[in-house]
Structure 1
Amino acid sequence: MTTHEGSEPAVPSLLDPAVQSDPFDAYAMMQAQEGIYRMPETGFFVVTRYDDLRRVLTDPETFSNNVDRASLQGEENSAVLHDYLDAHGWPHIQTLQRTDAPVHSRYRKLVDRVFTMSRVRELTGHIEEVAHTLIDGFAARGECEFIADFAVLLPGIILAEQMGLDSGDVGTFRRWADAMLAPASTVMTADELKANADIELEAQHHLARLFEERRANPRDDLVSALVHAHRDTEEPLSMAELQSVMSQLIGGGFESTTTSLGHAMLQLVNHPDQMQALREDRSRVKNFVEEVIRFESPTQGLRRRATRDVELAGTLIPKDSVVIVRYGAANRDAAKFECPHQFDMARKNSGTHLAFGAGPHFCVGAPLARAEIATGVLAMLDRLDDIRLAAPLEKPIHEPNFLTLPLRKLPLTFTAKG
């Protein structure tokens, strides 16, 4: 049994922005080694093979979701952040995706009442309206910067409206969402963490006012549904719990969908034959969306914590170690997916990807994300012909991020349909 104490050949650092933008060679090196790779910079154990990942995801008793989301910052700076938020707003308490059974069951039951398939179906028509309104804004120009002009705005407007913001306040919403995700994604100094926390605190105090207003005067929106999700015999979510749940829904529902929309259009541009096939047969969109999510998983990895000494793939992982489940690597595992680095929207097993997780912590917002990606892509194809890159993408093409894979820009040219 290996403990991986300096015995492995050098692997490019996952903290390197260039590697974060194109991590797949690094993943292949990790997968080729025996056992589980351990990051020398952090001591995190990185799980990259499909079967190993499934084992971790489906064994929450051994691999707990109860992990400090700021663990990337180290213990000292993480404590600084928690103390600062506690003094000025609400600390990062563990709820929903960051808890285990039986505590997780309570949160999941409440949130499942909010994110129902019927709610997604009701929203789909509005998502389509928003998509076409956005296209109205740039169709006549014959060009757009797809990330800023569409991919950010479509999920941003939908979530901003659900949070009681005007659809024109997406810029504010994005600042808040980025601040909520930053401690888990980017290494920062204590001063940078506090400055970032000030932005998150803006969101917290807005949400606090909104939660109280919706408690007294509910509307048909996400915030009202969360505030009133409990039954008469159940304990309602506290303010701190509401803040924590909402930050997770914002992070998962905004960043991931924006990232996948960008990758979806990039893959269509890179594969015009598949773009044409999708134009000719819209029923292909479901599998297309799954292949996009498999190929460039929007969330490349998340954290778990070992609750005991455990052996995984011949590697001893000590109790309380941080374990990174690297979805982006597992979804390119050649042992599971034939020619994994080839984008193929007709791939028969695309839907077996692990990008939304597995087991009791499967992503609650997956149906909404799928609906937004499919609706957004089809709206673009319905309205625009001859879609192509306006200029080569500057490298690195992705924003530096330890956990996600957001495109910097995607400049497109096209011809608007008559």
Structure 2
Amino acid sequence: MGSPFARFDWETRLYLAAHPVAYPLLRGLARLGPVVRVPGVGVVVNDAHHARDVLMDGETFRKDGPGSPGELWTPVLGPSVLLNMEGDAHRALRRRLTGLFAPGYAESLVDDVLAVPLRDVSDRLARGEEVDVVALMRVMAGAVISRVIGLETASEHDYRALFEAGERIVSMISLRTRRLTPSQIARARAVLNPLGDIAAQAYAEGSPSTVMGRMRTLGLTESEARGAAGAFFLTGTETVATLVPRLIALLHDTGTMDAPDLDRAIDEAMRVTTPTPVMLRSVHAETRIADVAVGPGDRVLIATSNCCRAYGPFDPSRPTPPELRRLWFGAGPHFCLGYPLALAETRAVGRALLAAGPLTITHRTAARGVLIPTYRHLRVRRGEENAR
């Protein structure tokens, strides 16, 4: 069994490598109370109960005002992409998209895209070869999002390039970013516009076997489908690609590689790694969060990482409290629409890797200059040797 300190050490290293200044400050805020007003930042929520209350109230706490995600992404993705909508328009679009990634469809899509490459990975591990889980996930995530957008390619080079293009956009964002600069917006559009054209072509063809074709069947306009494709591209690649290496590392370091309930282990890994370290909302009416008064124009920063890490170290055997249930994917009207797809992809890759075990980590390094903390390399192979 791995040292109990290895888990804490590596997860902390990942956060510090990604955010050497912001992360210690964020963790320091957790000691100031469940809700605290911080000059220059906004009202910071460190408690899962209060975080869920904020997320459930889409009328008072919105994504389309100053300091919200809408201010960040609307110049890049357009006005109608769920990420930046509220009210009747958001509810209407959300209803049309509800069945887009139904669990059965998501599992079928992932199995179709990843079955062959996962067999190849299993064969490599069976032969005693090393596999870099980070490099593997860049290809896997690129392959799945290619299918979602409608990109016709079967090249690992293209999948990797697609992932890296999304990574360049997301890396423009830090925990302190309120809005993109004109040059950043131009760079993001240079990547997203060609992908939008591909998505629009798949939409026009209207095949029910494609995600874009299904959007047309569900009644979305071409503009809405393009925007949704861009949003899925930005939010649906790094989340899974960063999670799987950390999941494998957590299971390895805590001696729980043989965890019988993979879905439970995935949920617990998501809690610890928190794919969305912070969430932003703009206040549109006077109210209170705990004992802190807020009003129109206030910015609320939900410190999701603090909310989730308050419940202790990685332990797949421990039930998740109701207030924490998938909080890392949001709650209420903006709960992540792509959650079933993310779970299906994580489950497929995790199952294949764990079935090839027992695995040992032979080498790992932390990634720097990224928004979501992750590994730069995480190499594994079959065997019981000690990790470096």
TM-score normalised per structure 1: 0.76
Quick one: percent identity of the two aligned structures? 18
Give a deviation string over 1:325-374, Cα, whole Å, max 9, x none.
222211122xxx3xx1x211111126724111111211111112112112
**Residue in structure 2 matching 1:147, options 125, 134, 150:** 134
Change (3 A) 1:39 1:144: farther
State how far apart, in whole Å, the 2-side matches of 1:98 and 1:196 are: 16
**Of 361, 370, 389, the match for 2:361:** 389
Judged with a 3 Å threshold, the aligned counterparts in structure 2 of structure 1 residues 67 and 128 are, in CA distance, closer, same or farther, namely farther
- Is 1:66 aligned to residue 64 of structure 2? yes
Return closer, same or farther for 1:301/1:68 CA change in 2, 3 Å cut-off: same
Q: Is this contact kept in 2: 1:307–1:320, CA < 8 A?
A: yes
Match of 2:52 in 1: 54
In 2, Cα distance between equivalents of 1:381 and 1:191: 40
Map 1:283-294 onto structure 2 (within 5 A). Answer: 284-294=261-271
CA distance in 1, matches of 2:286, 2:17: 33
The 5-angstrom pairing of residues 148-163 of structure 1 reads 148=135, 150-163=136-149
Higher deviation after alignment, 176-185 or 221-230: 176-185
Distance 1:47 1:27 in 2: 11
Higher deviation after alignment, 210-219 or 256-265: 210-219
CA offset digits 1:228-263 (Å, max 9, x no partner): 321xxxxx3242x33322222122221111111111
Superposition deviation, residue 19 in structure 1: 7.1
Which of 101-110 and 205-214 deviates more? Answer: 205-214
Give structure 2 stretches of 5+ with no counterpart. 1-14
Contact 1:215 1:228 in 2 (8 A): no
Change (3 A) 1:410 1:255: same
Are the aligned partners of 2:283 and 2:296 in contact in 1 as well (CA < 8 Å)?
Answer: yes
Give, in whole Å, the separation in 2 of the partners of 1:61 and 1:190: 22
Conserved? CA contact 2:137–2:241, under 8 Å: yes
- 2:379 is the counterpart of 1:408: no
SS of residue matched to 1:311: strand
Which amino acid in 1 is paired with 2:303?
A: R
Q: Are the counterparts in 2 of residues 24 and 329 from structure 1 also a CA contact under 8 Å?
A: no
Could you tell me which residue of structure 1 aligns to residue 82 of structure 2? 96
Is the aligned partner of 1:237 residue 2:221?
yes
1:414 deviation in Å?
2.7
- Alignment match, 2:4: none
Partner Cα separation in structure 2 for residue 25 and residue 217 of structure 1 = 49
5 Å-filtered alignment, 1:2-401, equals: 18=17, 20=19, 26-34=25-33, 36-40=35-39, 42-67=40-65, 82=75, 92-126=78-112, 127-136=114-123, 140=127, 142-148=129-135, 150-165=136-151, 166-168=153-155, 169-185=158-174, 194=183, 197-218=186-207, 220-230=209-219, 236-239=220-223, 241-272=224-255, 274-276=256-258, 278=259, 281=260, 284-333=261-310, 337=311, 340=312, 342-349=313-320, 352-385=325-358, 387-391=359-363, 393-394=364-365, 397-401=366-370
The aligned amino acid for 1:405 is P
Structure 1: give runs of 5+ residues left out of the alignment. Answer: 1-15, 86-90, 231-235
State whether residues 199 and 226 of structure 2, in contact with CA within 8 Å, keep that contact through their aligned partners in structure 1.
no
Indicate how the Cα distance of structure 1 residues 223 and 309 shifts in structure 2: closer, same or farther if over 3 A, else same: same
Letter in 2 for 1:57: L
The 1:287/1:23 distance shift into structure 2, 3 A limit, reads farther
Once the two structures are TM-superposed, the CA of residue 199 in structure 1 deviates from its matched residue by 4.9
